[in-house]
Amino acid sequence: MAKVEDEVIEAHVKQLLSRMTLKEKVGQMTQIERQVATSAAIKDLSIGSIFSAPGSLPVEKASPSDWADMVDGFQRSALESRLGIPLIYGTDAVHGNGNVFGATIFPHNVGLGATRDADLARRIGVATALEARACGIHYTFAPCVAVCKDPRWGRCYESYSEDTEIVGKMTSIVSGLQGQPPQGYPKGYPFVAGRNNIIASAKHFVGEGGTEKGVNEGNNISSYDDLERIHMRPYLDCISQGVSTIMVSYNSWNGQRLHGHNFLLTEILKDKLGFRGFVISDWDGIDQLCEPEGSNYRLCISLAINAGIDMVMVPFRYEQFIEELIYLVESGEIPMSRIDDAVERILRVKFVAGLFEHPFTDTSLQDIVGCKMHRDLAREAVRRSLVLLKNGKDPMEPFLPLERKAKRILIAGTHADDLGNQCGGWTATKYGSSGRITIGTTILEAIKKAVGDDTEIIYEKYPSTETLARQDITFAIVAVGEAPYAEGKGDNSKLVIPLNGADIISSVADKIPSLVILISGRPLVLEPWLLEKIDALVAAWLPGTEGDGIADVIFGDHDFEGQLPVTWFKRVEQLPVNAGDNSYDPLYPLGFGLACNKERC
C-alpha cells in the first residue's frame, strides 16, 4: 500500500513541477516571517512557507481561533495563486506549542532525557501536534536531536543528553508529531499520518552540540568518523521514522559552515542516508556564508543552494532573495536540476502532509489547547524527569519525602513562584521571560495544593532575617536557578547559580532544614561548602507549566525516577567532561539518580 501511495504522490509532484515557472519554483523555496507576508506576495510569488518567529502573534494573547483565522487567511491567498499550491505554516513548538498563550508547556528536552522514556516522548509529540494543528499550524521546528557535550552551550537544554544512545531513543517524538509510518514504508521518504499530525524537523544538522568550548554557532573540530558516530546517528533514527524535514545548523565543522557544506548536506544526508524530505536553513543562516555576514548575498545564496538547501528561511528580505536566486539560475551558477530537486522535495512533503486535500484548520480541535489530558501528561513528564541528587545529610536518615502535614513550611527563592522561570526559553518569546507569561501552576501554588489544611505556608522570595530566626518552621523549600535564555545569549563560561542563588540557599539552609530545587537547563556549579548545608537536592531542569509534578514527588505520592542525562561536573575547569573520558571525575555521573520510597532510600 505504501509503495502505491508513494508512486501516486511522485506522479502528482512531477506533474505539478512540469507546470511551474522558475519564479514559482523559487517562491516555493522561500519561507518568510508572517509580519511581512502579504496576500499579493503570497499569490504573485507562490511563497512556499510562512512562519511565526517566537513572540510573533496575530494579536496579544491570541486564542487558537485567532491563530487559525490568521493561518487560514494566508492559506486562502496561496490557493488563489496561479497553481493553487498550499503553503506550510511553521512555528517553534519545541516543548509544546509555546508561542500560543495557554498551551501546555512540557519540560524542555534535557528533562525528558532524564526520563529515558521513548513512549513518553512519543505521547508528548502527539499532544504537541494536536495543540499546533488546533491553531492552524502545520509544521514545527522540532525536535532538536543535538548531542550536548558541553553545558556551557546556551542550547544545552534543547538536547536530550550527552549520550548518543539516549538522544536516539528520544527521537520517538518524531513518530508522535508525524504519526507512525506503516511497516514497509519506503526508507527516507517523508511521512505524516493525517490531519491530527504535524510536519517535524530534526535539527540542527550536524554537530552543534560538540562545538569548541560549547560556543553557540561555533566550530566542531572532529573527524568524520566521530561526527557520524556521535552527532549524526540520531538523524538516522529520525529518517527511519519518516521525518519530513531537516534543519541545517549554524555551526561549522572543521572551519566550514554547515549552511554551505555540500559534502554533508548532499553527499551524506541526501545521497548516503537517503533522506527524501526537504532540507531547510535556519533563520538567515545562509548569510553566515560570507564576511561580513550577508554582505555578498548573491554568493551566500549560491553556496547554500548548491550545497543542498531546499527551503530558505529568509524572514524579511525575501524579495531580494527571490530576485537573486532567479538571476543565479538564469546565469547558470545554480543548475535547474538543483532547483527542481528542491521543489520536488517541498511538494512531496506538502502532498504527504495532506495539505492539498485539507489546506484549512480543523476547528473541532481548538478546545484541546491546554486541556486537562495534556496538562496531566506534562505533569507526568515533570515528575518523571526530576533527578534526586542528595537526600539527607546522613544516608541513614533520608530527608525526603516531605511531611505534607507539617505545621509550618517556608517557601523561598527566585523560582518558587515564577512560571516564566519554570518554562525557560522558547516560551511566549524566543528568550522567554520571568513572570506570569502563560497559564500554569508554579511550584508554590503546587505545594499549597499538596499540603494539609492545617499547614501554614510562609512565602518569601528573599527570606528576612526575622523569618530565618524563627524556631517554629518545620522545613524550607528553596527554588532557585537560571533565568530564561536561548541560543548564544545562554552561552555561559562560569555556570554559577545566577540571581544570588547560592546565597539564598546558604542563608536558608544555615537556619532551617532545607530541600533545594534547582531550576536550570544544565548542570551548574555546586560548591562542596554549599552541598554540605543542603539536606536534599533535586534537579528539576526546566519543567514547564505543570508545577504539580514537583509536588507529586517531593511529598511522596510518586517516587523519583529521573537519571542524569548529562554529567554533573565538579568545576568548570574540567569542561568538557563526559562519560567515557579517561579522567572521568564528575560530581555526579551520567545516569545518577537516587530513589526514595517509603520502604527504602
- pLDDT number for residue 180: 97
pLDDT, tens only, 482-534: 999 999 999 999 999 999 999 999 999 999 999 999 999 999 999 999 999 99
**CA dist list (Å): 104 to 110, 132, 198, 370:** 17, 11, 16, 5
Q: Is the dihedral of CA 64, 67, 70, 76 positive or negative?
A: negative
- How far is it, in rounded angstroms, from Cα 290 to Cα 273? 28
Question: Domain spans of the chain?
Answer: 1-368, 386-588
Residues 6+ positions from 470 with CB-CB distance below 8 Å? none
pLDDT, tens only, 191-218: 999 999 999 999 999 999 999 999 999 9
Catalytic residue among 284, 310, 487, 491: 487
Phi then psi for residue 359, to 5 deg, are -75, -20
Decide if pLDDT at 597 tops 70. no
**Closest alpha carbon to 260 in 234, 239, 281:** 281
Catalytic residue among 282, 535, 546, 561: 282
Active site residue 282: yes
Length of the chain: 601
Distance of CA 280 to the CA centre of its chain: 17
- How far is it, in rounded angstroms, from Cα 444 to Cα 479? 9
**CA dist list (Å): 506 to 114, 255, 257:** 27, 44, 45
* CB-count burial class (<10 Å; 0-12, 13-18, 19+) for 356: middle
- How far is it, in rounded angstroms, from Cα 317 to Cα 328? 17
- How far is it, in rounded angstroms, from Cα 224 to Cα 264? 10
- How far is it, in rounded angstroms, from Cα 309 to Cα 323? 17
- How far is it, in rounded angstroms, from Cα 156 to Cα 521? 6
**Residue 238 banded pLDDT, cuts 50, 70, 90:** very high
Q: Which CATH class is domain 1-368?
A: alpha beta
- How far is it, in rounded angstroms, from Cα 535 to Cα 30? 55
- pLDDT number for residue 599: 43
> In this structure, which CATH number among 3.40.50.1700, 3.40.50.2300, 3.40.720.10, 3.50.50.60 belongs to the domain 386-588?
3.40.50.1700
**Residue 601 banded pLDDT, cuts 50, 70, 90:** very low
**Residue 2 banded pLDDT, cuts 50, 70, 90:** low
Active site residue 5: no
- How far is it, in rounded angstroms, from Cα 360 to Cα 579? 48
**CA dist list (Å): 126 to 177, 443, 550:** 5, 26, 23
Q: Identify the helix (H) or strand (E) that includes residue 288.
A: none
- How far is it, in rounded angstroms, from Cα 302 to Cα 45? 20
Cell of 213: 568550548
Q: Is the dihedral of CA 576, 579, 584, 587 positive or negative?
A: positive
* CB-count burial class (<10 Å; 0-12, 13-18, 19+) for 1: exposed
Q: Give 519-535 as a 3 state SS string.
A: ECCCCCCCCHHHHHHCC
